[in-house]
Amino acid sequence: MTGASLPRRRGRRPSGEDTRGAILNAARGEFASRGYDGTTLRGIARQAGVDARLVHHYFEGGKEEIFVAALDFPVRPQDVVDAILLPGPDGLGERLVRMFMAIWDSPEGRTRMRAIFGAVAVTEAGARMIREFITRELLGRLAERLAVDRPELRATLAASHLVGIAMARLVLQVEPLASASVDEIVEFVAPTVQRYLTAPNPGAVGEDGASVGQRAVEPPA
């Protein structure tokens, strides 16, 4: 067999190699080419040349943890969801927008988020990767915990809105958005995000024919 046709070695990598780094490099390639939803732990392991169990060993939190580490994402989604939901549904939109702004508007946050969004914006697959991650792991979880109808649609709408603001403010630096204060942005955006996540679906009706309203919020586990 030629060198090009030799099968890739499986299992633990030889001593001295950066196995965790190899997994992260493979994950970046998989996320970029397949998007967040299309990437699997087995696919990452195959590209890294390791056994899938080794991926679980280094990243017990699964795909979400690998994504956060691979892109140096500044937050763990579950922590954000718990903090935002704890006070209840009232004011949820403002808390969510303020938390996003706090993450990306600090000096360190601006640098990291600009690098993340700038890197993924060059391809449709990269943009899809970020949208899918924020929709599935952050806002999707939040919408499900709110126990509202159409949680995936609501999460997608909110994610698209917030990602669009991040792109315009940090990467494209569109004025006057780029230089607007956090309070100004929150004032305009928070009511819309609140409506996406908690407002009754205008087209939904209950058994009595009345519009279906918001159901109770489940407390964080």
The CA-based diameter of the chain, rounded to the nearest angstrom, is 73
Domain map of the chain by residue range? 10-70, 77-198
Give the C-alpha separation, 134 to 164, whole Å. 12
How far is Cα of residue 65 from the mean position of the Cα atoms in its chain?
Answer: 11
Question: In the structure encoding, which two tokens stand for residue 191, read together?
Answer: 């009511």
Q: Which of 93, 72, 76, 74 is nearest to 84 (CA)?
A: 93
Supply the pTM of this predicted model: 0.62
Neighbours of 204 (CB within 10 A): 12
Domain 10-70 and domain 77-198 have a common topology: no
Question: In the structure encoding, which two tokens stand for residue 136, read together?
Answer: 């599935």
pLDDT at res. 36: 79
- Digit-coded pLDDT (tens) for 31-69: 877 777 888 999 999 999 999 889 988 998 888 888 878
Instruction: Tell the CATH topology of 10-70.
Output: Arc Repressor Mutant, subunit A (1.10.10)
- Digit-coded pLDDT (tens) for 87-109: 888 899 999 999 888 877 777 66
The answer regarding whether domain 77-198 maps to CATH 3.50.50.60 reads no
- Digit-coded pLDDT (tens) for 67-80: 878 777 766 777 77
| 3-state secondary structure labels for all residues of 169-185 | HHHCCCCCCCCCCHHHH
